[in-house]
Amino acid sequence: MTGADGAGLWRTESRDGVVVARFGDPPMSYLTGPALAELAVLVEEWTAPEVRAVVIAGSVPGRFITHFSVEEILAGQPTMAARGPELNYRVHATYGALGELGKPVICALNGDTMGAGLELALACDIRIGERGDYRYGLPEVRLGLIPGGSGTQRLVRLIGRGPALELILGARLLTPAEALEWGIVSRLADDAVAAAEGLARRLAAMPGTALAAAKRIVHQAADLPLETALRMEADASFRAKVSPQSTAAMRRYVEIASEDRRAYLDEWDDDQPFV
């Protein structure tokens, strides 16, 4: 599958099962209602079986998604009481759908990533930061707001209540290196998009049923009691074992000489270094 679409605020390219979606709304790349609506349509399109991995990044130099448009929030205040938290629900639904995709979603934080931008990154499965003069964080409290696009909940689940409260209440922004120390990104790269694409291609080559099962069980069982989570894991493991893709992958493995199997499992694409 190859192709590109640049009709709106999101530009997508797809090749060999990997979709790269870049957001850009110069000069500041603020998220807006129209941009959110475009993303919702894209997430639905990514449920197609030919899509095996997704990379989300920014296209404006120095910016991923700076934050949600404060101008749009102010403009909507006159009708906000009647509409209630409708916008928040739309953000929750769109970001939540990323977690429900049966394929990995990798976020390349290749620029300033704050507010709704960081919340989008937190909704992705893997986050790769980029070395540079960028800032990541949830600054909403400084503006009299709170993170309302799932940030209060996703950040707590990722780094713990105490650290999350320090960042949220203090509206503290982090450099990419600090975000790595706090556990918000899993690693840094000189070119986050290239690193994310390299990882996405590696994951796209994995058996899709196993990827989907592993992602689902990690997300769904993370906050459950251990005994319940282990039952879910056992069921997912059983279903993966009996899938045709699993059978084919295991047969390829047992055809490899025993002394060569560790090298096979340790393979990495050196042309697309992960760090």
pTM strictly above 0.85: yes
3-state secondary structure of 109: strand
Domain count, the chain: 2
Contact 118/151 with Cβ under 8 angstroms?
Answer: yes
Q: Please write the tens of the pLDDT for every residue from 13-30.
A: 999 999 999 999 999 999
Question: Do the domain assignments include residue 241?
Answer: yes
What's the mean per-residue pLDDT of the chain?
Answer: 93
pLDDT > 90 in the chain, percent: 85
Q: Is the pLDDT of residue 272 over 60?
A: no
The encoded tokens of residue 107 equal: 């976020």
Q: Please write the tens of the pLDDT for every residue from 188-225.
A: 999 999 999 999 999 999 999 999 999 999 999 988 99
Could you say which of 13, 45, 100, 119 is catalytic? 119
Q: Please write the tens of the pLDDT for every residue from 127-140.
A: 999 999 999 999 99
Q: Output the pLDDT for position 7.
A: 57
Q: Is the pLDDT of residue 267 over 90?
A: no
Could you say which of 38, 130, 140, 197 is catalytic? 140
Contact 56/119 with Cβ under 8 angstroms?
Answer: no
Checking 263-269 for CB contacts under 8 A at 24+ apart, the result is 268/202, 269/198, 269/201, 269/202
State mean pLDDT over 130-158: 97
119 is catalytic: yes
Q: Look at 266 and 73; give whichever has higher pLDDT.
A: 73
Q: Output the pLDDT for position 273.
A: 41
Confidence of residue 5 (pLDDT cuts 50, 70, 90): low
pLDDT > 70 in the chain, percent: 95
Domain end marker among 151, 177, 204: 204
- Both 187 and 215 in one domain: the answer is no
- Both 222 and 195 in one domain: the answer is no
71 is catalytic: no
- Structural domain containing residue 19: 2-204
Q: Output the pLDDT for position 268.
A: 64
- Both 83 and 146 in one domain: the answer is yes
- Both 236 and 134 in one domain: the answer is no
- Both 137 and 14 in one domain: the answer is yes
